[in-house]
Amino acid sequence: MNVFVTGASGWIGSAVVDQLLEHGHQVTGLARSDSSAAALEAKGVTVQRGDLDDLGGIRSGADQAEAVIHLANKHDFSDPAVSNAAERAAVQTIADALEGSGRRFLFASGVAALAQGRPATEEDPSPFHGADSPRGGAENLAFEYVDRGVHAISLRFAPTVHGMGDHGFISVVAGVAREKGFSAYPGDGTNRWAAVHRVAAARMVALGLEKAPAGARLHAVAEEGIATRDIAEALGGAFDLPVRSVSPDDAADHFGWIGSFFGMDLSATSAATRELLGWTPHEPGLLDDIAAGAYR
């Protein structure tokens, strides 16, 4: 297939592009910068210049593709409303372009707030509706198009998609540990984070493109949940720093914007996804990557 990918040069997107090429697909990637464009061209990817604010360019890329994988996000945690609005607009633009065609539309989502007191599963619907909700309610918006001839598939990524060179959430927690001089966890540290290696996640996306039915919720989750205390202890060992608890009331002051996330239980399973796709993650786990120096 000819696949249009937004976020094609990003942390997850670049690994997804590699998997798509390995599977024999042709890829057109959206690129904001000269360096991103050059990296994609070096892989044999057709480059379309633009960004999430260029809705006309996104529409054009979707119009010309046989499938779309939307992975780009502004990730503006200082002003979530900006990110939410951009996400909703991009999803609606792509879905409108694909309406009535039966073409595949895979889009990034997450596992946060899907379940309380237990790991989230693929059966849990997103509770987010409307433009003002997280991610602009994009998952539910996209699924509204299933009955309108769009083969929409949600890609729910674990809160940490790790690997050597990761600059995501765990990298931020690691940076706080180095800055403060100790590695911390909120409260008793028993809340858990699901995790997946970026290569495993990318392989799941490629399989989802080929196998998942319309309306599927796929969980890119290799490890159901790693206690934040274990994450903090692994970072402390990697940086030779002491490890201690911080009160949940002080988490925002200590960790900054990521404090509220690090204090949440974000565990999830992927049993249904594995069975559906024949997907078996076998890459290193999060604690292995931390010990191997991924965040040094």
In sequence order, what are the residues at sequence separation of 6 or more whose Cβ sits closer than 8 angstroms to the Cβ of residue 112? Answer: 134, 159, 261, 264, 266
Confidence of residue 165 (pLDDT cuts 50, 70, 90): very high
Is residue 163 over pLDDT 90?
Answer: yes
Is residue 74 over pLDDT 90?
Answer: no
- Report, in angstroms and rounded to the nearest whole number, the Rg of the chain calculated over CA atoms: 19
Is residue 95 over pLDDT 90?
Answer: yes
The mean pLDDT of 242-267, rounded to a whole number, is: 95
The mean pLDDT of 259-273, rounded to a whole number, is: 95
Say whether pTM exceeds 0.75. Answer: yes
Is residue 21 over pLDDT 90?
Answer: yes
Is residue 79 over pLDDT 90?
Answer: no
Confidence of residue 67 (pLDDT cuts 50, 70, 90): very high
Which letter, b or e, does each residue of 176-212 get, where b requires 16 or more Cβ atoms within 10 Å of its Cβ?
A: bbeeeebbbbbeebebbbbbbbbbbbbbbbbbbbeeb
CA dist 272 → 65, 112, 218 (Å): 28, 18, 8
Q: In the Cβ-directed half-sphere of 135, how many Cα atoms lie within 13 Å?
A: 26
pLDDT at 176: 98
pLDDT at 75: 84
For residues 87 and 71, what is the distance between their CA atoms, to the nearest angstrom? 10
Q: Give the mean pLDDT of the chain.
A: 96
Is residue 10 over pLDDT 90?
Answer: yes
Q: Could you tell me how far CA 232 lies from the centroid of its own chain?
A: 22
Confidence of residue 202 (pLDDT cuts 50, 70, 90): very high
